[in-house]
Structures are given as C-alpha cells and as structure tokens.
Amino acid sequence: MFSRSICILCLAIPHFALAETAGLRVGAGVFTLAKDGADFQVALRLPRSPYQIGYRYVRWTDVFHDPFTGRALTETTQSMEGPFLNYLFQPEAARSFYAGISLLNWSRTEQALLITTPSGSASTTDLYFGGGYTGSIGDFGYFNLGMYLSPTAKLNTQTAVSSEESSGGFDTQIQIGLAF
C-alpha cells in the first residue's frame, strides 16, 4: 500500500513540473525604465513542448550631448519588434537554457534639438539569433535573460548636426513577468 502511494506521487511530480513551466507569459523588461521606454514580451508554450513562441516590443530614447558644452544636440528613439521562436533545452524543468531565432524590425528616428530640421529615420527587418536562460519565480512569476544578435542588420540616420551608422544589431533581454 505504501509503495503504491509513492509511485502515484512520483508520476504526479513530473506532470506538475511540466504544467508549471508551460503556458502564457507576459513580461516587462529593463528598457521600460529608459526615457520613453517600453519593453514588453508575450510568450506561449504548450505543455510538454520544448518550443516557445512569442512577440517582443522594445523602445528607448537616448539624448546625445555636446562633449564640450554639455548641451543636448540630438534625441534618438529606437525600437525593435517582432515574433520569436525559442527551443528550451530542459522544458520539463522550472528553469532552462534556450536557443532562439527572431525576426525583428529595428527602427531609429534621430531629431536635432537645437535647429529645426527634418528628423532622420531608418528601418530594417532582419533575422536575429541567440539564446538565454529563463525560469519560474514562485507559482505565478518568471524571469528571462537573453541576447540575440544580427550580423546583417545595418541602419543609417542623419540630421543637420549628426549622423549615426550602425552595422550589426543586438537585442538584450532582461525581464520579469507573470506566468499563467
């Protein structure tokens, strides 16, 4: 009688762990703290599946100051958004490393602050490859730490007082959120 109870308990534990890590996840990240910042990610994983699909949106604004006078010269707003697919190496565990691919649209708008001139803006859509580490925090929370890179992404913007040329893109992910 006692050994049968242990076997039933042993069978129930793996199913509970699978159900705990699967489901819908909605999170916010560190770029939310930046000027004009937003950093949101939604992900879905079915029970017993090592695949997690989702959508990411991140936006932030930087101000470039003249190094000699300290005056603000330009304000640059960047955003990235698009779908992603992750493969979890240990989907049955509460925490797992993962590898992923994402198709992100990266856009940047640069505005001169001292002179009234048209803003410079550009946009590109590229594949990003990367991975990270994700896991549960208690019963209803999760965390995500990841990095995606795109060696082919190129973005050039120019205003009357500055220009910015970027080769290669990256998406840093540091988030916490709710798991349903």
Nearest by Cα to 136 from 61, 45, 69, 64: 45
What pLDDT digit, counting tens, does each position of 115-154 carry?
776 778 888 999 999 999 999 999 999 999 999 999 999 8
> Model confidence over 59-110: pLDDT tens digits?
999 888 888 998 888 888 999 999 999 999 999 899 999 999 999 999 988 8
For the chain, domains (ranges, CATH) are: 2-179 (2.40.160.20)
- Rounded to whole angstroms, how far apart are CA atoms 141 and 21? 10
What lies within 8 Å, CB to CB, of 20 at 6+ separation is 94, 136, 139
The angle subtended at Cα 83 by Cα 100 and Cα 44, nearest 5°, is 75
pLDDT score at 31 = 83
